[in-house]
Structure 1
C-alpha cells in the first residue's frame, strides 16, 4: 500500500519540484527480489487494463543489509535500484560463501560473477589469472588447446571468423575454421593466424580433424538445416583421444541450437558435461518453450536456467544484461552488467558469436579450469572488453580489444 500512496505522475511532479533524492530500504517498493520483476495484476484479456504497474518506484540509492538479493541484479532490479549499497549489520554468517570464483560452484548458492569473496576484493593473481593455461611457463601450442570453429557457406563466414579470432586472442594455442569448399577462398582472404580447412557437406569430420582437437564451436553462421544438426551430433560424439585427459569442450550457439527447435530432445540426449549451450532469450524459447516468456510464470530467470540445464544435461548460459549460467546439479552464477558496469553497446550483431568463441578458447586448453569456471570468466571478459572499447563498438572490435583487457585483468 505504501507503493500506491502516490501515482507515478504525482511522484514525478513532487520530486522534480523539491529536487528530492529517494533512498529505498532493501528495495524500491513493488520490486520482487526473487525475480527482479515489478509486481502487477495486469490481465491480458481485459481490454481496459493498463499494463503499466501501479507499484513502479525508482530510487536514487538502494540500501540493503548483510547480502544482496538476486532481484537486485535480475530484470528491472538494477534500473529501479539505480545505486546499490550493501551494509554489514553484524549478522553471524552461518551460510557464508563456500566457493569463490575460480573454484567449482556451490550448488546451494547463486554466485555473483564479480572479483569479490566474503565481501572483499579478489586479487587479480587469484582470479582470473590462475585459471588461464598460458600463465604457466611451459607448454606446447597444443597444450593450450586446438579449437575448431565451423563456418557457413559463401557470404556467411563472418560470425565464425569473429568467434575464431576471439578463441585465438584469449589463449587457444591453435584455431582452425572449417568451411564448405565453395567458401574457402572467401575465408582465406580474411584469415592469417587462424588456420583454414574445407569440409564438404557429407564428409566425415575425422578426415580433417585429428584427436588433438580439444574444443569445438558450432552455430555462428552455419545455417539452420539438417546438415547442421548432423554435424552437431557428430561432434558431440567425439571423446578424448591420445594424451587428452578429458573430452573436448563443445560450444553450441545460434544455428546449432535453432536447428533442433522441432525436437530439442534429439539434441539433449547427446549432450555431456563438457557441452555448453549459449542461447539468447529467443533461442532459449525454441528449446525450452515451457520455461520462457509468460510460461516462466513465477520462476526467476535463474530457476528457469537451472531447470533447463538439468533437462539438457549440460551447462547453459542464457545471455542478457543479467547473464545466467547453470549446470545440471543446480549450481548457478549470475553476471550482471549493472551498477557501473553497464554495456549497452554490447547489444550489437555478432557479439554473441564472439562470446561463443571466448568460451571455446578459454576452456579448450588441457590446463584450464573446469568449463563452468571458464564460462564465468568468458562472460566477465566479454563485458570488460566492451566497456574498455566504449560507445561505437561493433562485434569485430571485441577480439582486438582483448589483449588490452587481459592485461588490465592481470592475465
Structure 2
C-alpha cells in the first residue's frame, strides 16, 4: 500500500470504532519485541522520536523496552508541547525524560531505534535529522527503523537528502513502495510486517491495485497443458531478427520464447542473415522476411498471433513499418530495444495503433528507453517509478515493463506490480532480449497482457536465481521454468 492509502486505512479504522491509540500501542510494542529479539545484549536503546505518529510509535517502543528492563534513552525532534493526538498521549504516558537531539551521545554497544518520520515523508529531511544520521553512521551503530528508515520516501523509495541504513525495519499491515523500490529497499535491512489488528476488509477497501509481483497475479490466467494440445494451440511467436552482424539478440528472444512454453517460434530473418541464423537454430523455425510484402504474406496466417520486435533489429524506419502492420491485423506485440527507439517520443502513435478493449502491446524499456519513449513523463520529478510507469501505461494504452533492479509492470487500467526478486546478475548484455521472449511466450499462450508481463518478469528473475553467479544471457533460457 502507498502511504496515502495507509493513511486512509488509519482513518477508516478509527471511524469503524477501533481505538487508534490501541493500534499505536500494538505497533510500538511490536517494535520493542523485535528490538529485544534481535539485540538481547544491547547496552542501551537510543530511541529517536519525530513529531508525528511515527514518533508516537517510538514513545510506546521506549516505554515497552523500559518495562522489559532495558536501558533506554529517549530523544525527541520536537518539543513535547508541539505533539498532537495519539503521539502526544504516547509521550505523556511514556514517563521517560525526553532529551533534545543535540544531547545525542552514542556509545559502543548502543542500538538506535529510528522513529523520526516513517513512510509518510514527502519532503527533504531537516538538517538536524541529517546531522543525526551522519553521527549514527560514523559511530557504526545498528539501526532498527519504525515503518521505514527516516529519509526514505515511502511512495517512491527515493532518498530525501539522507537516510538511515537500517539492519531491520518493522512496518505494519502491509509493505509500502519505499520498502521495495530502489534505493529505499537497500536501506531497510530485514523487513518484518506486523498485523496490528486492522481488519482486512478495511485494508482492502482503501488499497490501490498495487502488488508485489508473484504467481497470485496470473495463476487464474495460466492455461494448463492438455493431452489435446498441439504446437499452434500453445501459441506461435514470431521474433524479428536484425541484419547479419546483429542476429544474436533475436535468437536469445526466440530461444527464450520456446523454453518459456510457446508451441512454435519462428525467427523472421532478413535475407542477409538467413545463413547465420540457420547455423545457430534447430527447434526454432526460420523464415525470410525482408520487406513489407513478405510480412504481409506472413500475417495472412492468423495462427501467427504474437510478435517480438526490437532486439538487435537496427533499422528504425523498418521497425516502425513492421509494428504498424502487426497492429493493423490485430496481433499482439512485445516491443523492446530498437523497437522502442523507433517510436521515440511517439507513445501517442503507438496508442492509436494498438488501442483496443484489451491491451495487446507490451513495451519493455530500461531507463534510457523509457526517457526516449516517454520524455515528458520521465522528466516529471513529482512521480516515482510506479507513478511514471502507470502514467506511461495510460498514455500508451498498453502494458509498460519499466525495467531495473525494481522492475515495475503497469497497466492502463491502474494496476501495477513491483518485482522484488530479480538478482543483480541480470545486469548483463542480452538479459532484456530473453525477457522479451518470455513475455512473448506468455502472450502466445493466451494470457492477458498485464498478467503475461508479470509472469514473464517473474520467470526471468527466477531463471537468473537458478542460474547463479556468472550467468550470461545464454544461460538464462536454459533455466526458465514453464510453470514459473
Q: 1:174 to 1:80 in 2, by over 3 A?
A: same
Aligned residue for 2:409? 325
Which one has a larger percent helix, Structure 1 or Structure 2? 2
Contact 2:345 2:374 in 1 (8 A): no
2:311 alignment partner, one of 213, 220, 223: 220
Aligned residue for 1:277? 363
Q: 1:95 to 1:318 in 2, by over 3 A?
A: farther
Contact 2:425 2:469 in 1 (8 A): yes
- Superposed counterparts of 1:323-402, under 5 Å: 323-337=407-421, 343-365=423-445, 368-402=446-480
1:267 alignment partner, one of 350, 353, 365: 350
2:243 alignment partner, one of 138, 153, 157: 153
Contact 1:184 1:198 in 2 (8 A): yes
Contact 1:278 1:319 in 2 (8 A): yes
How far apart, CA to CA, are the structure 2 residues paired with 1:385 and 1:183? 29
Partner SS state of residue 436, structure 2: helix
How far off its partner does 1:290 sit? 1.2
Contact 2:214 2:455 in 1 (8 A): no
How far apart, CA to CA, are the structure 1 residues paired with 2:312 and 2:243? 8
Contact 2:336 2:363 in 1 (8 A): yes
1:197 aligns with 2:297: no
Provide the alpha-carbon RMSD of the alignment.
2.2
How far apart, CA to CA, are the structure 1 residues paired with 2:362 and 2:417? 14
Contact 2:144 2:170 in 1 (8 A): yes
How far off its partner does 1:7 sit? 4.9
Contact 1:27 1:64 in 2 (8 A): yes
Contact 1:153 1:180 in 2 (8 A): yes
How far off its partner does 1:317 sit? 1.0
2:334 alignment partner, one of 246, 251, 260: 251
1:56 alignment partner, one of 163, 167, 170: 163
Contact 2:169 2:191 in 1 (8 A): yes
2:142 alignment partner, one of 16, 21, 27: 21
Aligned residue for 2:67? none
Q: 1:114 to 1:207 in 2, by over 3 A?
A: closer
The TM-score with structure 1 as length reference comes to 0.81
2:195 alignment partner, one of 65, 75, 88: 88
1:234 aligns with 2:341: no
How far apart, CA to CA, are the structure 2 residues paired with 1:262 and 1:224? 17
1:20-57 Cα shifts (integer Å, max 9, x gaps): 42210001111110110111xxxxxxxxxxxxx3x321
How far apart, CA to CA, are the structure 2 residues paired with 1:202 and 1:136? 36
Partner SS state of residue 307, structure 2: strand
1:327-351 Cα shifts (integer Å, max 9, x gaps): 11211111123xxxx5111011111
Question: Which structure is higher in RCO with an 8 Å CA cutoff and minimum separation 6?
Answer: 1
How far off its partner does 1:134 sit? 4.7
1:208-236 Cα shifts (integer Å, max 9, x gaps): 34211111100101114211111111111
1:50-97 Cα shifts (integer Å, max 9, x gaps): xxx3x3210000000111111111121210102111011111123455
Contact 2:170 2:191 in 1 (8 A): yes
How far apart, CA to CA, are the structure 2 residues paired with 1:381 and 1:72? 22
How far apart, CA to CA, are the structure 1 residues paired with 2:202 and 2:360? 30
Contact 2:428 2:473 in 1 (8 A): yes
How far apart, CA to CA, are the structure 2 residues paired with 1:97 and 1:357? 34
How far apart, CA to CA, are the structure 2 residues paired with 1:314 and 1:264? 10
1:72 alignment partner, one of 168, 179, 182: 179
Contact 1:107 1:331 in 2 (8 A): no
2:214 alignment partner, one of 78, 99, 114: 114
1:188 alignment partner, one of 248, 258, 278: 278
How far apart, CA to CA, are the structure 2 residues paired with 1:282 and 1:373? 25
Partner SS state of residue 407, structure 2: strand
How far apart, CA to CA, are the structure 2 residues paired with 1:264 and 1:208? 26
Partner SS state of residue 144, structure 1: coil
Mean CA deviation greater in 219-228 or 354-363: 219-228
